[in-house]
Amino acid sequence: MNIITYPERSQWNDLLRRPTLNTATLRETVLEVLERVRTEGDKAVIEYEEKFDHVHLDSLTVSEEEFAEAEKAVSIELKAAIMLAFNNIKKFHEAQKFESKPVDTLPGVTCWQKAVAIEKVGLYVPGGTAPLFSTVLMLATPAQIAGCKEIVLCTPPNREGKIHPAILYAAKIAGVSRVFKAGGVQAIGAMAYGTSSVPKVYKIFGPGNQYVMAAKQEVSLHDVAIDMPAGPSEVAVLADETANPIFVASDLLSQAEHGVDSQSMLITTSATLIRAVTEEVERQLEELPRKEIAARSLEHSKLILIDNMELAVEMMNRYAPEHLIIETKNYHELAEKIVNAGSVFLGAYSPESAGDYASGTNHTLPTNGYAKAYSGVSLDSFIRKITFQEITKEGIATIGPAIEVMAANEYLDAHKNAVSVRLKM
């Protein structure tokens, strides 16, 4: 890990930069894959599965038999854990239901909103080195609560052409309509354009690597909506001398094991803590089965020593982390000063893992600094709000003259006339 001591403000932007791939090469590959999927459908998806995921598929669709096999393969202990997480996620997202309230802006002028579910949504669940069945719960549960009619899920299969049983079990529990064996850019293309197997959806959700993020952004230009530009995962810890170095190290490593392009950050006012965390990271790293992945991720992770907590908070808001853990003596007070973050974890006993799995909050969050402008996935992500208005004869008489004046001054005479003819009746 990289240790930086008392950096000048002029250095902050460089220090807080995320690791990136060569975007020119990346975009070229993404566009090529998307175009082939758009024009060749299933054939292209199957060929890219063989090329990128090293698996030969006869069909992209997960069968009912595979769902049944998966349910038998998941242990009772894991089923219970999945159900606990599902119930907490459901409870938290059900509390977000929109309640419409008609508003009389003037006598005879009534306006209101109606929440309507997005009819067809596509969920992308990364596979790769970890079966993220928790992401299935995070995406499908609010989609189910919102009332989406068709919930499609794409996830890469293993080299035997199978989806991890826990992913299929979670999909069934959370109300997914159909599951398809497709990963990466080709999965995003299949949901964006539609193929003979995979239906075209109206909005695509889900995290992924930089190729997936680039593909989502590309298809969002013309073909489909997306949740957010979510790329490689990241965590930042804001800590003082009271923080437990064992806890902090475990939080940094829990993020680092996601992937080699993940990033872990510690911003602290304590040099003693940095030394202790460095030692703990080295000790805990040796015990991890995913040691190689975590070690490569830590190469671009940083431990930053700052003069005071006010500056540390300012730096954290500039970084705008996906996950922020605040482990200080006055964490509630500091939390009030945080304005840019995807999800915040307060105190020594609130690890990021809780939000990743079972506390109830959603773990699909903005990365790469997008927390400055985007929220994480919520129930609102799966609905649209349609506005309604009803204006009576009394109402148009009240607001009509103002509309006429405004329309005339914008040189839109037909707009003015649509009111004028009513005022004459």
Task: Measure the CA–CA gap between 160 and 55, rounded to whole angstroms.
Answer: 7
Q: Which of 386, 389, 381, 380 is CA-nearest to residue 98?
A: 380
**Which structure tokens are listed for 185?**
């850019």
Phi, psi dihedral angles at 419 (to 5 degrees) = -90, -45
Show binding-site residues for substrate.
233, 255, 258, 323, 356, 410, 415
Show binding-site residues.
124, 186, 209, 233, 255, 258, 323, 356, 410, 415
Show binding-site residues for Zn(2+).
255, 258, 356, 415
**What residues contact residue 338 under an 8 Å CB cut-off, 6+ apart?**
313, 316, 317, 324, 326, 344
Q: Which of 322, 327, 352, 363 is catalytic?
A: 322
Cβ neighbours of 417 (radius 10 Å): 12
Q: Which of 323, 327, 352, 363 is catalytic?
A: 323
Say whether 322 is catalytic. Answer: yes
Phi, psi dihedral angles at 389 (to 5 degrees) = -150, 145
In the sheet that 178-181 helps form, which strands lie side by side, from edge to edge? 178-181, 150-155, 120-124, 203-205, 225-226
Task: Measure the CA–CA gap between 379 and 63, rounded to whole angstroms.
Answer: 29
Question: Around 150, how many Cα atoms within 13 Å sit in the side-chain half-sphere?
Answer: 14
Show binding-site residues for NAD(+).
124, 186, 209
Phi-psi region of 194 (alpha: psi -120 to 50; beta: other; left: phi over 0): left
Task: Measure the CA–CA gap between 257 and 267, rounded to whole angstroms.
Answer: 20
Query: Are 383 and 116 in contact, with CB atoms under 8 Å apart?
Result: yes
- The radius of gyration of the chain from alpha carbons, rounded to an integer in Å, stands at 25
- Residues designated as active site: 322-323
